[in-house]
Structure 1
Amino acid sequence: MSSPRKEHLGASSSEPLAVIVIGNGPSGICLSYLLSGYTPYVRPDAVHPHPLLQRKLTEAPGVSILDQDLDYLSEGLEGRCQSPVALLFDALLRPDTDFGGDLQSVLTWKQQQERAIPHMVLGRNLPGGAWHSIEGSMVTLSQGEWMGLPDLQKGLGHNFVSGAVVTAVAWGTPEPRGSGAQAPSPLFQVTGVLTAKDQSQQPFSLWARNVVLATGTFDSPARLGVPGEALPFVHHELSALEAATQVGVVTPASDPVLIVGAGLSAADAVLYARHYNIPVIHAFRRPVDDPGLVFNQLPKMLYPEYHKVHQMMREQSILSPSPYEGYRSLPGHRLLLFKDDRQAVFRDPEGVEKVFGVSLVLVLIGSHPDLSFLPGAGADLAVDPNQPLSAKRNPVDVDPFTYQTTRQEGLYAMGPLAGDNFVRFVQGGALAVASSLLRKETRKPP
């Protein structure tokens, strides 16, 4: 942490910052990069393989992507993401990746300090967020080079404050000064606790004109809510399997490890177990060919390991001969309960109950964000305020071209909170937020 930022935080300054970013993972890093004056332009000699996008890019030569109409540029693009700006930025950085190509990015970057917006990125731990929990042995979608941002760490450190736990964010609109004065924008008060290297703690209170939520969704693993889920052999993190393997609790001779879930975390667990020849029962509620499965959203050439897991899920079931020794899948099975004697009880698609002996259980069915520092824990910000906030099913409702929440001016959400669940696509959210903030801050009266 740099001295100026630490002093600013410790002083609990009442002078509002332009932007406070809560969360220092991939989303926060990308946004800080763009807010630090690193500006994307289209290379003059670049030719994009998408004809319509190429024509649009030639209409504003020399104008930064941040200053262009993102709605207009992203119109007509298709891909593996619901966010139009995420598709746009991905198309500019990786013009033909999904087709196995390696065309160079059409972007060039300029460091323009005069365009930088003062900001502070607050994080509980060291910058990197979810990346720190990704094991080296695991396959991950978050390939570092896919950030596509040159000199990523250069000049960003002074904007980051580690050990800062935000406990409350409140907002209100100050009273206008003088008759006929324009109503001011809302101000946000961000309060929390800063833990120093010597573990001493001090409270802080900051004011900001804009707040960006970039906390990710890995705070609270989702649970099945079935009897026995709290038993000591049932876990909700892949690290539990790694630990059990390392100390010899789980071996190739053990009863199978039960992996519950049909997402990438569950696939990582299957890959890990297969690597160590640990027998696996893989259970999931959806049919194998459900178009909503994440495997159907990944290009096969880039992620052969994940597609291998999908192939195993499809070709293997408990009722068929095993083409994959040590692996059995249970598509369409619903878990009913876990028993003390390490048995798992399921109901199959025909309604028949089945019981399996297991050595360890990993329930990997997603996770929920912790927005307890917001009024109402952020529930009112979701697309459906009556349902729990969920990155996959009920994210924060944001404007697709600015990522500003639809419920509160000046409050933004990005990354998984806004439904962008791959690091590959969080950059588009950063582009949208930075573009919006640049417009807002440059027109702000002195």
Structure 2
Amino acid sequence: MEEEASNGTCRSGCESAYCSEEDELPCGRESGEDINRTCPLSSFPFGEIVKKEIDVDVAVIGNGPSAIFLSLLLSGYKLFFTGSHPNKILREKLRTDVSLLEQDFPYLSEGLEGRSRNPVSLLFDTLFHPNADIGQTHLSSLRWERDESSAISHVVLGCGKPGGVWHGVEPSTLTLSHQEWLDLPLYSFNDWKKDEKRKDEKNDKNSKWRAKAGHVAQYYQDYIHKMSLKDNFISSVLIKRVEQIWDCPLSPNSPGHKPVTPPWSPTRTSSNSVASPTTSEGIIAESEIIHSAKCMCDKGVCCPTIVQCNPEWMLQGSYLKPSCCKRRDQEEASPTSPLGYSSSPNSIAVKSRKIVLACGLTEPKRLGIPGEELPFVTHSLSDFKKRLKCSKRRGRSGSALVVGAGMTGADAVLYCLDNDIHVNHSFYQDLSKANNLLLSKLPSGYYLEYQRVWKLMKGLETSHLYTPLEGTRVKSFSTNGETILTSSSEIEQSLATSVGMIAIGSQANLGFLPQDISSVLGIDPSQAIDGKNNSVDIDSFSSQSERVPNLYALGPLAGDNFVRFLFGSGLACAKSIQNSLCKTNLSPTQSTLSSTQTNDTTIL
């Protein structure tokens, strides 16, 4: 697109001083074109209103790698131990004639160690990547078979394309993980590169083992087609509301029925039971936790215990349409709509027996200070780059400001250095004591760019383009660009800022859940859910919430942030769902999204 006019108004009518030449439709059409037709990114035309209703056993919210892996298992793919593994103790525990989904996870994972807190993640990783942590390369100890007759009906819903947040990362960004640690089963990243005839960059040793984020995003998107999973995926869908429905077998007049008056919010007690402020008994067993919910049999009355109920879920959402101006649309759309999209009249409703949260940590954490919502302050790396370009063209005074000592903050600093932009870097940590920062742990031989940032932060190297502000916190932003920072000794300093980026981490956006459910999901229910300090409180061997029946959490929501360790929670989830459906005599129904199904078993 052409550059915006000098008065700050772009061709699409967005009155923003930071609207850049890249503010175009996500689907490729320019802002002046008619959008009352089918967009390549949407499932339905915008000129007609469509309402889609689906009834499945499992609804998955989020379409990143953890959701893709779960879909693979729910589609009838079973994994078996090959009989070969360098760990003799584990080798003797495992059976080769029974699917891993039917074996004892606590027994198998006992004694395993690694860089994940989830024992099932460690189990799957040691079988999928044997001895990876000590630099050895072994073939996977897993073989796969597909039995479509055992498939469980499910739908995977995502705001964007399959691959999740990978599509929002700068395509040229190199991954931290080794390429092989990004693999999904049966069709590796290297297989995909061969099919796409992609070669590593010449004279770039990093590209031989680190992948470009854009390639990874495309690999995950292509994977669902290669593995025939695409019929279970619906993209460009924003889930707006989720309700838990209790199908009560007892009426209020039935013997033993004890009505509970909503709202009811459970709280933990020191005896690991649950105290209820609305029951005369005061204490009920944790296995009998209930929430205020809508009863299908008697409106306004909730069931006494989950033992007597079969809770189900109802999801409501809308299809997304591309906007004609990203910034204007972001102001009009709901906070959960991705930048560049807004809700369309087309709606979707999904009824399911189980719900799986695989939506990751998509909400940037905020400082909560005055001026944080001013136009020159952003929480997005891509937006930060765009605003710097606009600021440079306009000759706006002041340096860039990056807040945060994590990897995203380091990426923002590197962008400034590579483009001759002076950057002030504020972080509250005392680096002489901050041993838990990932930047300090990266091997220098493999991550040269991040080692450069770390040395600048520590003062081991200097640059006229970089000023470290160790032990400082931002207090406020002003409309004229003035930024006030305070040190640990409460000394204030003022800086002139052209563009500021807040990169202090991410947290879950679970605004679609009822308050009485979202407020009890975390290990510490009083705090927001993030992947570092407060993940969803799940049973590690089932991935099911400890407090909400029939609700599961995968990936970063369960505490695993690297792709390599995402799959354990999906494996535990698939095993739990499979066992639960069998016990309740809910035979998996054929998905309304699948085209055909056979009873053939395929060895892969």
2:318 touches 2:344 (CA, 8 Å); kept in 1? Answer: no
- TM-score after normalising by structure 1: 0.85
Q: 1:277 is matched with which residue: 413, 416, 420? A: 420
- Deviation (angstroms), 1:28: 1.4
- TM-score after normalising by structure 2: 0.64
1:148 matched residue in structure 2: 184
1:32 matched residue in structure 2: 71
CA 1:68–1:2 in 2, change beyond 3 Å: closer, same or farther?
A: farther
1:411 matched residue in structure 2: 551
Query: Residues 302-381 of structure 1 correspond to what in structure 2 (within 5 A)?
Result: 303-316=447-460, 322-376=461-515, 378-381=518-521
CA 1:308–1:104 in 2, change beyond 3 Å: closer, same or farther?
A: farther
1:117 matched residue in structure 2: 152
Q: Say which is worse superposed, 305-314 or 89-98, in terms of deviation.
A: 305-314
Q: 1:384-412 deviations in whole A, cap 9, x for unaligned?
A: 22222333222211111111011111111
Residue correspondences, number:
428
Q: 1:126-150 deviations in whole A, cap 9, x for unaligned?
A: 2121011111222334666413322
Partner Cα distance (2:508, 2:456) in 1: 31
- Deviation (angstroms), 1:227: 2.2
2:302 matched residue in structure 1: none
One-letter identity of the residue aligned with 2:568: G
- Deviation (angstroms), 1:248: 6.7
1:405 touches 1:413 (CA, 8 Å); kept in 2? Answer: yes
1:347 touches 1:354 (CA, 8 Å); kept in 2? Answer: yes
- Deviation (angstroms), 1:228: 2.3
Residue 162 of structure 2 is aligned to residue 162 of structure 1:
no
1:185 matched residue in structure 2: 310
One-letter identity of the residue aligned with 1:108: R
- Deviation (angstroms), 1:213: 0.9
1:319 matched residue in structure 2: none
SS at match of 1:398: coil
- Unaligned 5+ residue runs, structure 1? 4-8, 317-321
Partner Cα distance (1:267, 1:389) in 2: 24
Q: 1:36-71 deviations in whole A, cap 9, x for unaligned?
A: 122222223x223x44434433xx123222222222
Q: 2:437 is matched with which residue: 290, 293, 302? A: 293
CA 1:241–1:196 in 2, change beyond 3 Å: closer, same or farther?
A: closer
CA 1:251–1:359 in 2, change beyond 3 Å: closer, same or farther?
A: same
Partner Cα distance (1:142, 1:272) in 2: 21
Partner Cα distance (1:306, 1:75) in 2: 36
- Deviation (angstroms), 1:421: 2.0
Q: 2:350 is matched with which residue: 202, 206, 212? A: 206
1:93 touches 1:148 (CA, 8 Å); kept in 2? Answer: no
- Deviation (angstroms), 1:246: 4.5
1:64 matched residue in structure 2: 99
Q: 1:67-115 deviations in whole A, cap 9, x for unaligned?
A: 2222222222222222222222222222233334433322222223233
Residue 569 of structure 2 is aligned to residue 429 of structure 1:
yes
- Deviation (angstroms), 1:362: 0.8
- Deviation (angstroms), 1:21: 0.5
Higher Cα Rg: structure 1 or 2? Answer: 2
CA 1:55–1:120 in 2, change beyond 3 Å: closer, same or farther?
A: same
SS at match of 1:168: strand
Partner Cα distance (2:393, 2:487) in 1: 26
CA 1:71–1:256 in 2, change beyond 3 Å: closer, same or farther?
A: farther
Partner Cα distance (2:423, 2:546) in 1: 44
1:47 matched residue in structure 2: 85
- Deviation (angstroms), 1:424: 2.4
- Deviation (angstroms), 1:260: 0.6
Q: Identity, % of aligned pairs?
A: 38
Q: 2:62 is matched with which residue: 20, 23, 29? A: 23
Partner Cα distance (2:459, 2:90) in 1: 40
- Deviation (angstroms), 1:299: 5.9
1:134 touches 1:140 (CA, 8 Å); kept in 2? Answer: no
One-letter identity of the residue aligned with 1:349: S
CA 1:357–1:155 in 2, change beyond 3 Å: closer, same or farther?
A: same
2:52 touches 2:347 (CA, 8 Å); kept in 1? Answer: no
1:19 touches 1:209 (CA, 8 Å); kept in 2? Answer: yes
One-letter identity of the residue aligned with 1:138: T
Q: 1:218-252 deviations in whole A, cap 9, x for unaligned?
A: 1x321112222223221111012321354572899
Partner Cα distance (1:326, 1:210) in 2: 53
Query: Residues 127-138 of structure 1 correspond to what in structure 2 (within 5 A)?
Result: 127-138=162-173
- Unaligned 5+ residue runs, structure 2? 1-41, 45-49, 188-222, 256-306, 324-342, 588-604
SS at match of 2:352: strand
Q: Say which is worse superposed, 117-126 or 418-427, in terms of deviation.
A: 418-427
- Deviation (angstroms), 1:329: 2.2
Q: Say which is worse superposed, 396-405 or 237-246, in terms of deviation.
A: 237-246
CA 1:40–1:308 in 2, change beyond 3 Å: closer, same or farther?
A: farther
Partner Cα distance (1:43, 1:305) in 2: 40
- Deviation (angstroms), 1:373: 1.5
CA 1:399–1:240 in 2, change beyond 3 Å: closer, same or farther?
A: same
SS at match of 2:410: helix
Q: 1:349-400 deviations in whole A, cap 9, x for unaligned?
A: 3332233333321101122322122110712211122222333222211111
Partner Cα distance (2:445, 2:110) in 1: 27
CA 1:273–1:71 in 2, change beyond 3 Å: closer, same or farther?
A: farther
- Deviation (angstroms), 1:31: 1.1
1:252 touches 1:277 (CA, 8 Å); kept in 2? Answer: no
1:229 matched residue in structure 2: 372
- Deviation (angstroms), 1:259: 1.0
2:408 matched residue in structure 1: 265
- Deviation (angstroms), 1:212: 0.4
